[in-house]
Amino acid sequence: MINRECGVFRTTYQADMSLYGVPLARITVAAFALFFALVFPFVVDHKHLVWANFAGISIVAAIGLNLLTGYTGQISIGHAAFMATGGYTAAIMTTRADVPFWVGLIAGGVFASAYGLIVGLPSVRVKGFYLAIATLAAQFITEWIINHVEWIGGGFQASIIVPPASLGPVRFDTELEKYYLVLALVVLAVVAGLNIARSRLGRAFVAIRDRDVAAEIIGVDIFRYKLLSFMISSFFAGVAGALYVYYVGTATIEAFQISRSIEILAMIIIGGLGSILGSIFGAVFVVVLPLALEDILEFFRGVLPVTDIDTFVSQLKLMVFGGLIMLFLMVEPEGLNRLWRNVKDYFRVWPFSY
Amino acid sequence: MDFFLSLLVKGLTLGCIYALVALGFVLIYKATSVINFAVGEMMMLAGFLITAFVGLYGLPLAAAIGLSLLLMVLFGFVLERGVLRPMIGRPVIGMIMATLGLGIFLRGFAPVMWGVDKKNLDLMLPAQPLRLESIVVPPVDLAGVGITLFLLACFAYFFQRTRSGIAVRAVADDQQAAMAMGIRVSTVFALSWALAGITAVAGGVVWGNKIGVDQYLSLLGLRVFPVVILGGLDSIAGTIIGGLVVGASENIFGGYFDKYVGGGLKDFVPYVLMLLVLMVRPYGLFGREVIERV
């Protein structure tokens, strides 16, 4: 990830697809893992730990959407609907059937991926804008169903209270414990995402994205792989949704509205389409930026010539968010991941850059 | 029967005003093949501009609308040049995200400039509703229908009779052929964004009068999609039909079945309808059948 790849010349496909690009990468990845497991949670305060947790949940969802939109090229403006499916499955199963946490989590993913399969069916016939609209419709229909079917959502604008997650004797109650839970799932999601992307499955996805007709000619079953992409992507989203519900402790439709779908899309646009690392960058950026902005403006409270600072902050957040999406699309369509690669390329042969 | 008729009439007038918003979308798509997810926000901006000119600067209504027209046309130009031209040739998702981003930006920008509270956009219409036996049509809706029909007539004239209108149609048909015939494609793009600005003002006036001006006005933009999918993305006549169908069906379903499902069918039916149409006729009722199949 942060290793200089100077003098690395891959001569086999095997080497090109390996998880660790250079031998040193094993050490840096381990160092990163150790840092986030042992150092990070103890040097930051409670507030920033909360930020990290929200960012972690978003990373899981963003990796899922990136597999669908970035790798397979299928647009979804309804990813929050899959998160909602996962979240509500987990909430209903834990509160009514009293299943353990991990069952709820996996069931959330499975149900979401089944739902993703259904929503993804139009992708077999239409693509581009039409698919975007079909997923948008799925978003609205899901919101409506959760709001109006009492068995699922508990009534109009209601919420389901969910007990905190627990694994055997371990209960994830405090922020720190939840941090480890989120971290574990983020690691799983990243490893799964990287492995999907570099394996046969990921190559089929990329082939479909780059030219679907050509993909079909070289033997990629478009029908199967598109639906698979939808299913895998919604599985990630469902797990993220379930995790969110366990983390916050309530399942409400407010958390899974259209704005959330757009937020996840913005994450992968800002982070970089078709890149797992980019999904991480984007998710962290999109989650942390508004929170940090809030803090900065809080600092200027009283100095700013506005009366109602809270609404001002929320409006300003929208402006910055929307502005950033446009800026990235115009200036760096390949996102933060590209910027990071540029930095890396600069240092590749540094200091002898000739 | 009376109940049904009144629901139908209400739905049809509503649909007419939906079509007004959808018109802005279709104009842009037809000429520039840009998918504008920010139609609702542009309409909201126009509404905010008008109320600001009237409320804050004390201009008469007509002058405020005139100024807003000018500003929105300008806004269309700037948007086309600054944001959307760099997107040409990029994947569809770039365009969708750019306009979504623009929408989010505007939703933050307008209230920061002019306040979050709901403002009234008073058109000084007579308060007396139009009565036809048991059917009551409020003057707001009548004005909406009137403005929609007027704009449609204007656009029909423009596209069929004027030189620049024919140029827009030529570009919509085949950009390269149009270029070869000496039509400046960039001018046509700018022109269509200007037209979209005009429809945004019209939509802002009608909807602002109907439900008041605040950031929630922009949510109406999302209603556009069932309308345009139904009618066909590039058909102006289709938007009207689509609008009427969506307006009527959501009102009739809402009126008859809301009590069984606890309300909210208004937000549900259009999208279900749209999904069905998408499955059977993805290019809509009147759209050109050049949709890319997989």
The model's pLDDT over A20-58, given as tens digits with 9 standing for 90+, comes to 777 778 888 888 889 998 888 888 888 899 999 999 999
Q: What is the pLDDT of residues A172-210, one digit of tens each?
A: 888 898 999 999 999 999 999 999 999 999 999 999 999
The average pLDDT across A318-340 equals: 89
pLDDT score at A127: 74
A319–B105 C-beta distance less than 8 A: yes
CA B265, A248, A79, A226 dihedral sign is: negative
Q: Is residue B183 part of a domain?
A: yes
Are the C-beta atoms of A119 and B279 separated by less than 8 Å?
Answer: no
Tell whether B111 is within 8 A of chain A (Cβ): yes
Query: Is pLDDT above 60 for A158?
Result: yes
Q: Is residue B155 part of a domain?
A: yes
Band the pLDDT of B32: cuts 50, 70, 90: confident
Partner residue opposite B105 with nearest CB, options A273, A326, A330: A326
Tell whether B264 is within 8 A of chain A (Cβ): yes
Q: B32 to chain A nearest CA, in Å?
A: 14
Q: B90: nearest CA in chain A?
A: A333
> Counting Cβ atoms within 10 Å, is residue A230 exposed (0-12), middle (13-18) or buried (19+)?
buried
Partner residue opposite B291 with nearest CB, options A130, A138, A262: A130
Partner residue opposite A75 with nearest CB, options B93, B104, B105: B93
Q: Which residues on A lie below 8 Å from B90 (Cβ)?
A: 333
Which residues, 6 or more positions from B66, have their beta carbon under 8 angstroms from its beta carbon? none
- What does pLDDT average to over chain B? 85
CA angle at residue B278 from B275 to B279, to 5 degrees? Answer: 90
Q: Is residue B258 part of a domain?
A: no
Portion 14-43 of B in contact with A at CB < 8 A? 35
Are the C-beta atoms of B26 and B154 separated by less than 8 Å?
Answer: no
A134–B93 C-beta distance less than 8 A: no
Portion 207-266 of A in contact with B at CB < 8 A? 212, 222, 258, 262, 265-266
If one counts every other C-beta atom within 10 angstroms of the C-beta of residue B197, the result is 25
A258–B101 C-beta distance less than 8 A: no
Range(s) of the domain holding residue B73: 14-116+139-239
Chain mean position to CA B10: 19
- Domain spans of chain A, in order of start: 20-257
A321–B104 C-beta distance less than 8 A: yes
Tell whether A316 is within 8 A of chain B (Cβ): yes
Name residue, tokens 């469902």: A238
Read off the tokens for B249. Answer: 């069906």
CB burial readout A204-224, b (16+ within 10 A) else e? bbbbbbeebeebbeeebebee
Query: Is pLDDT above 80 for B121?
Result: no
Share of chain A above pLDDT 90, in %: 44
At B131 the three-state DSSP class reads: strand
Distances (CA, A) of B117 to A306, B51, B221, B225: 15, 12, 20, 27
At A242 the three-state DSSP class reads: helix
B278–A212 C-beta distance less than 8 A: no
DSSP state of A305: S
A330–B108 C-beta distance less than 8 A: no
At B49 the three-state DSSP class reads: helix
Q: What is the identity of the amino acid at B283?
A: Y
Band the pLDDT of B106: cuts 50, 70, 90: very high
DSSP state of A174: S
Give the Cα separation of B236 and B211 in Å (integer).
Answer: 25
Q: Which residues on B lie below 8 Å from A324 (Cβ)?
A: 101
Give the Cα separation of B6 and B11 in Å (integer).
Answer: 8
Q: How many domains does chain B have?
A: 1
B107–A322 C-beta distance less than 8 A: yes
Tell whether A323 is within 8 A of chain B (Cβ): yes
pTM: 0.89
Beta bridge partners of A252: A159
Read off the tokens for B143. Answer: 């004005």
Name residue, tokens 């929307």: A322
Q: Is residue B122 part of a domain?
A: no
Backbone angles phi, psi at A230, to 5 degrees: -60, -45
Which range is most confident: A57-61, A210-214, B59-63?
A: A57-61
Tell whether A48 is within 8 A of chain B (Cβ): no
The average pLDDT across A267-288 equals: 92
Chain mean position to CA B131: 28
Query: Is pLDDT above 70 for A307?
Result: no
Backbone angles phi, psi at B91, to 5 degrees: -60, 155
Name residue, tokens 């080497």: A15
The average pLDDT across A258-282 equals: 92
Q: A321 to chain B nearest CA, in Å?
A: 7
Read out DSSP for A49-93?
HHHHHHHHHHHHHHHHHIIIIIIS----S-HHHHHHHHHHHHHHI
Name residue, tokens 């647009």: A75
B112–A137 C-beta distance less than 8 A: no
Chain mean position to CA A118: 21
If one counts every other C-beta atom within 10 angstroms of the C-beta of residue B182, the result is 7
Contacts 24+ apart (CB under 8 A), A288-292: A288/A51, A288/A55, A289/A320, A289/A321, A289/A324, A290/A317, A290/A320, A290/A321, A291/A51
Give the Cα separation of A270 and A334 in Å (integer).
Answer: 8
pLDDT score at B85: 82
The CA R_g of chain B, rounded to the nearest whole Å, is 19
Read off the tokens for B100. Answer: 């979504």
Taking phi over 0 as left and psi of -120 to 50 as alpha, with beta for the rest, B38 belongs to alpha
Q: Is residue B164 part of a domain?
A: yes
- What does pLDDT average to over chain A? 88
Which residues, 6 or more positions from A75, have their beta carbon under 8 angstroms from its beta carbon? A69, A128, A129, A131, A132, A135, B92, B93, B96
Question: What do you get for the CA distance between the two ends of chain A, in Å?
Answer: 23
DSSP state of A149: -
Q: A226 to chain B nearest CA, in Å?
A: 11
Q: B105 to chain A nearest CA, in Å?
A: 4
Q: Which residues on A lie below 8 Å from B83 (Cβ)?
A: 326, 330
Band the pLDDT of A306: cuts 50, 70, 90: low
A156–B294 C-beta distance less than 8 A: no
Partner residue opposite B101 with nearest CB, options A273, A311, A325: A325
Tell whether A322 is within 8 A of chain B (Cβ): yes
Tell whether B272 is within 8 A of chain A (Cβ): yes
Read off the tokens for A112. Answer: 């979401």
Read off the tokens for B152. Answer: 């449609």
Q: Is residue B260 part of a domain?
A: no
pLDDT score at B262: 67
Q: Is residue B150 part of a domain?
A: yes
pLDDT score at A353: 65
